[in-house]
C-alpha cells in the first residue's frame, strides 16, 4: 500500500453564507486546495464529498460540486457519517490512493445548514440516532443527548458547570484569532455561565452554532507528494468505529466507546501514543464532548478532564493544545465540512502556518478527533510531518 500525504488545503469562511449556493461554497475551498497543491484538475482521479445533506435543496451534492469546480469526469461519490462525514470523506480518498487506484484524490466537506429555520434544523439533527426510541417517543433533541452525558460526568467525577464554560471561553479565545471562524469575539466565564439554559446543564455558550462552510484537502501518493511539495503531511493512522443507535443500549454515559476504539486503532496504525501528540482537534459540538474527548483519547485518565481545562493544559503552552482554531464551538460546525476542516487545521499546525494560533511542534504529530451523532460514528486520524 502506498503512503498517503496531504499536499493541498483549502478552507472557506464559516458562518451564515447567504452569499453563495452549495457549488460556489464548495468551490471556495476546492480552488485554494488545488492551488496549494499545485496539481492540474485532470490529475485528480477521485473526489469524495462529505455531506449530511438534509438542509439544502441539492439531493446529489457530489455531482453539483464537481461540475461547478470543473472536476466532472473524475470518479466521485458522496459519503455520510453524520457529523463525521468529513473524516469519512478523507478516509475514502485515502483508500483510493493507498490501494493504488489513483495517485491524487480530493476530499471535500461542505454543508449549508442555514437554508432551513432553526426549529426544522433542531428536528433534523434530533433524528441523528434512533428516531423511534429517542426523538419520536421521548422528544429528545441533540442538546438533550449530550446533556445526559454531561449530567453523568458531573455526578461521577465532580465536573462542574464552570468547567464546561471554561471550554467555551477557550474556544472563543482562539476563534477570535481565526479569520475564518464564525464567532471571532472572546467571551468571559461569567457570560458563558449566565447564558440561557438549552438543556441543563448545557447552556447557549456550551453549544456549537448552525453553520455553512466548506473545507478541502488534496491527497497524493508518496511518489507524487514528494514531487509536489517539500512539506507533505502524512496520514499515519486512521481509526474508526461505531456504537448503538439506541442510547439506552449503552453501558455508561461518561465517554464515547466508539471514540476510544477509534483512537486505539489510529495510535496502533501510526505507531504513536497520546503522549506523542503535539496538537489536536477534538469534536466539541458541546463543551462536555471536548472534556470527554480528552479522556477518550488518552490525554488524561478518566475523570481528570476538568482538571486539564482548569489548569490550562489544553491551551498553547499546555500539555496538549486542543482546538486552536476555535473548535466547532467558535469556528462553526457545518456538519459535512467539519472533519475536513480539522484536517486542514492540523496540516497548518504541522506546517507551522497557524500564525498567532501556532502550537509548539516537538514530535511533528497531530490528531483529528471527529464524532458523528452522539458517538454513533467515530473517526480518529493521526497526521505527521515524517
Catalogue the active-site residues. Answer: 83, 333
Q: How far from 47 is each of 40, 43, 87, 89, 189, CA to CA, in Å?
A: 14, 11, 14, 9, 42
| Distance from C-alpha of 172 to C-alpha of 187, rounded to nearest angstrom | 6
HSE toward the beta carbon, residue 362, CA cutoff 13 A: 11
Question: DSSP characters for 22-61?
Answer: HHHHHHHHHHHHHHHHT--GGG--EEEEE----SSS-S-H
- Of 181, 214, 174, the C-alpha closest to 12 is 214
Burial category of 362 from C-beta neighbours within 10 Å (exposed 0-12, middle 13-18, buried 19 and up) = exposed
User: Which ranges of 271-370 would DSSP assign to H, the alpha helix?
Assistant: 287-296, 305-310, 327-331, 335-351
Residue where the block lists cell 457545518 = 334
CB 199 within 8 Å of CB 144: yes
**DSSP-derived secondary structure for 138-179:** H---HHHHHHHHHHHHHHHH---HHHHHHHHHHHHHHHTT-T
Helices 142-157 and 287-296 meet at what angle, rounded to 10? 60
Rounded Cα distance, 307 and 218, in Å: 38
Terminal-to-terminal C-alpha distance of the chain: 17
Q: All 3 cell numbers of residue 344?
A: 486542514
- Sequence-distant (≥ 6) Cβ neighbours of residue 97 within 8 angstroms: 2, 4, 103, 104, 105, 219, 220, 221
CB 143 within 8 A of CB 199: yes
Q: Which string of b and e fits 260-281 if b means at least 16 CB within 10 Å?
A: bbbbbbbbebbebeeebbbbbb
Amino acid at each position: 500500500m502506498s503512503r498517503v500525504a496531504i499536499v493541498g488545503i483549502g478552507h472557506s469562511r464559516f458562518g451564515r453564507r447567504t452569499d453563495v449556493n452549495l457549488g460556489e461554497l464548495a468551490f471556495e475551498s476546492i480552488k485554494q486546495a488545488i492551488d496549494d497543491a499545485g496539481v492540474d484538475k485532470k490529475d485528480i482521479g477521485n473526489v469524495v464529498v462529505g455531506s449530511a445533506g438534509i438542509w439544502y435543496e441539492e439531493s446529489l451534492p457530489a455531482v453539483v460540486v464537481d461540475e461547478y469546480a470543473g472536476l466532472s469526469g473524475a470518479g466521485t461519490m458522496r459519503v455520510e457519517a453524520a457529523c463525521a462525514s468529513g473524516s469519512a470523506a478523507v478516509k475514502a480518498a485515502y483508500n483510493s490512493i493507498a490501494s493504488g487506484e489513483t495517485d491524487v484524490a480530493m476530499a471535500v466537506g461542505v454543508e449549508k445548514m442555514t437554508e432551513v429555520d432553526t426549529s426544522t434544523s433542531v428536528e433534523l439533527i434530533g433524528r441523528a440516532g434512533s428516531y423511534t426510541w429517542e426523538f419520536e417517543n421521548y422528544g429528545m433533541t441533540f442538546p438533550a443527548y449530550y446533556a445526559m452525558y454531561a449530567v453523568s460526568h458531573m455526578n461521577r467525577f465532580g465536573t462542574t458547570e464552570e468547567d464546561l464554560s471554561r471550554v467555551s471561553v477557550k474556544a472563543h479565545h482562539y476563534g477570535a484569532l481565526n479569520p475564518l471562524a464564525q464567532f471571532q469575539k472572546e467571551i468571559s466565564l461569567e457570560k458563558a455561565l449566565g447564558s440561557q439554559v438549552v438543556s441543563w446543564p448545557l447552556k447557549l455558550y456550551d453549544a456549537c452554532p448552525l453553520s455553512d462552510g466548506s473545507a478541502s484537502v488534496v491527497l497524493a501518493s508518496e511518489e507524487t507528494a514528494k514531487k509536489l511539495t517539500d512539506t507533505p503531511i502524512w496520514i499515519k493512522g486512521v481509526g474508526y468505529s461505531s456504537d448503538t443507535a439506541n442510547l439506552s443500549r449503552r453501558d455508561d454515559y461518561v465517554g464515547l466507546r466508539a471514540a476510544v476504539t477509534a483512537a486505539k486503532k489510529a495510535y496502533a496504525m501510526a505507531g504513536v501514543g497520546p503522549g506523542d501528540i503535539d496538537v489536536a482537534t477534538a469534536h466539541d459540538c458541546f463543551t462536555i464532548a471536548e472534556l470527554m474527548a480528552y479522556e477518550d483519547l488518552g490525554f488524561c485518565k478518566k475523570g481528570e478532564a476538568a482538571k486539564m481545562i482548569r489548569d490550562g493544559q489544553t491551551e498553547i503552552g499546555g500539555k496538549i493544545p486542543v482546538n486552536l482554531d476555535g473548535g466547532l464551538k467558535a469556528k462553526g460546525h457545518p456538519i459535512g465540512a467539519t472533519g475536513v476542516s480539522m484536517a486542514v487545521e492540523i496540516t497548518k499546525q504541522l506546517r507551522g502556518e497557524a500564525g498567532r494560533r501556532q502550537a509548539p511542534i516537538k514530535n511533528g504529530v497531530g490528531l483529528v478527533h471527529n464524532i458523528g451523532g452522539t458517538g454513533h460514528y467515530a473517526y480518529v486520524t493521526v497526521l505527521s510531518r515524517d
